[in-house]
Structure 1
């Protein structure tokens, strides 16, 4: 199990779909060698330097937190069952309501689609709130996500970073 790194009133809680097996085993978010999260976070402007997974708790120093939609670790997110998202929804709602972030940024469309019950989900900002937090959907930084190059990811995350500065 991978522990959340969250606190009250953060600017953003970044929400992964679920932990990868390596991250769950290491006890650190985005520790898989091919995951580009820490590199993208830095290159898009969220952090002044590229953090390492071993220091993931220091993300709180920048006003950001980390959680997952579903707690069960898998090697691939597509191994999760619809019922696991359904079961996790109330836990996730309680978490977001209690911690009151300004934004929840979902990685990939799957978790937000499951939680919002929408059939179609677009990238970027959404007009509706989720338990009082603004919603943004970002491409997943997983190395398995070959549909987005590093430059594509940085561009998407930078757009989010610039939008929340105002």
Structure 2
């Protein structure tokens, strides 16, 4: 499988960062491609996009000052299949990407992955004290359908909090 290409360019408002590509995303070349993933609906319901984009329309995010990358490039069926070492190495690569494109915000989608990638055991959802260069960091809930703690309305509300400050 080919690595999933990043959707990013310099000067973004928000660079959304998934944990790693799911198998369907790796197969299709589109981020958050599994039908049960709530990223695209939450993005729209929170006001980041005027309509709900399809995964195949991911490049349109650039028109709205948004982008997508991942902490780890390796595809897997579940994010919990990744090792802590893979997450730490991915965090280092993510820092390099962020320094290159300098978005206003990096929004990491998954608090557990963030904690492992950046060795911040007490990090919580929301704005972080950490910055990467001039980029501020925000943690959002993982939009995977496996994250039952967050319904779509609660997920959209969490995304909307970031949209209001970005």
- Smaller-chain TM-score range? over 0.9
Q: Which residue of 1 aligns with 2:117?
A: 115
Q: Which residue of 2 aligns with 1:145?
A: 147
1:134 aligns with 2:162: no
Q: 1:161: Cα distance to partner?
A: 0.7
SS in 2 for 1:161: helix
Q: 1:120: Cα distance to partner?
A: 1.0
SS in 2 for 1:137: strand
Q: Which residue of 2 aligns with 1:104?
A: 106
Q: 1:115: Cα distance to partner?
A: 2.9
Which structure 2 residues correspond to residues 11-22 of structure 1 after superposition, within 5 A? 11-22=13-24
Aligned partners of 2:113, 2:71: CA distance in 1, in Å? 6
List gaps (5 residues or longer) in structure 1.
Answer: none
Q: 1:93: Cα distance to partner?
A: 1.4
- Which stretch shows the higher mean deviation, 126-135 or 155-164? 126-135
Q: Which residue of 2 aligns with 1:54?
A: 56
Q: 1:116: Cα distance to partner?
A: 2.4
List gaps (5 residues or longer) in structure 2.
Answer: none
**Count of equivalent residues:** 164
Aligned partners of 1:110, 1:73: CA distance in 2, in Å? 18
RMSD: 1.0
Q: 1:17: Cα distance to partner?
A: 0.4
Aligned partners of 2:23, 2:150: CA distance in 1, in Å? 22
Q: 1:159: Cα distance to partner?
A: 1.1
* 4+ runs deviating over 6 angstroms: none
Q: Is the 8 A contact 2:84 2:117 kept in 1?
A: no
